[in-house]
Amino acid sequence: MSMMKTYPLRQATHHGITAHEIRSPLAETTYGLREESACLLLLEAGRARVEGAARDMAVESPRFVWLAPGRAGALRLSPGSRGEMLQLSKGALARVLPASAFGDELSQVLRGDLSVPVGTERAQIVRWLAELREELTGGAPGAEMMAGHILSLLLIQLWRGVKAGRQRPDVATGGLVQGFVQLAGLHLREHWQVGDYAAALGVSRDRLSDAVRRATGRAPQVWLHEALHREAAELLTNSGLQVAQVGFRLGFSDPAYFNRFFKRMEGVPPSRFRRRAARRSAPSTSYAAWP
């Protein structure tokens, strides 16, 4: 039976960013994945497996891996694995995403788990990660800003890798369902049909449907509609966009169609949902709420 223990080496933490240099001993190594944090992994040598509720991914080096926040789990590394890992709080991630159309696209890509191959850019990624660790531990003036800039470069490099493989994700590494989720992160707002996803993944529609049903308990189209509904609810709750603008942001060219879609999914129109959400978040003015 293989040994299993947590083995962080040369850990550095600062402003919601924790960096680990991975030099795995001659035993399996396990890192806990917290629900409130994201994880960025460069696996230079060895193999890894991501386990947990709704996530199961096998990784062969060299790979650049993104594990989105929102799901707890474990990262298991084979003996002798080597690489770098960052764990990011949601606040740290929000600080480095630009307030622009590109930032919005990048945010959508980072909503799901990602795994992309690493080629000639590996040396540059290794240098950035080493520089980031130095900034986190050195305490030089402006370290937080410098660390944020380096993290932005790493996320852009990940985005480039996803874009380069968007027509045919590495299904053998991430699994068919993982490839579907990865493509959905890119094309959800374009309202791709299930057949489009199947064609991009190089499988039949029936095979994709069967795989998604086994993994999620839902048909692919239902899963896509639920993902759109979640994004709509988040924008209605946390943004100042008008209802029609929310619909346009999510790819609905007709506001009436967006209203019908949201009412079918939520049970109430988007305007009523927003008013209800605002009432729930409003501070109480009753005497019972006074200190």
- Domains by residue range for the chain, with CATH: 4-164 (2.60.120.280), 168-217 (no CATH), 219-282 (1.10.10.60)
Predicted pLDDT at 282 = 59
Please tell me the predicted confidence (pLDDT) of residue 167: 43
Residue found under tokens 């299993």:
4
**Terminal Cα-to-Cα distance of the chain (whole angstroms):** 57
The reported pLDDT for the residue numbered 6 is 41
Residue 48 has what pLDDT?
A: 87
Question: Which pLDDT score, from 0 to 100, does residue 112 have?
Answer: 79
Evaluate whether 34 touches 18 at the Cβ level (below 8 Å): no
CB 146 within 8 A of CB 171: no
What number of other Cβ atoms are within 10 A of residue 37's Cβ?
22
Tokens of 107: 């945010």
Given a cut of 50, the residues of the chain with pLDDT beneath it are 1-10, 167-174, 286-291
Q: What is the pLDDT of residue 287?
A: 44
Report the pLDDT value the prediction gives residue 139, as an integer from 0 to 100.
75
pLDDT of residue 14: 61
Burial of 39 (0-12, 13-18, 19+ CB in 10 A): buried
pTM for this one?
Answer: 0.56
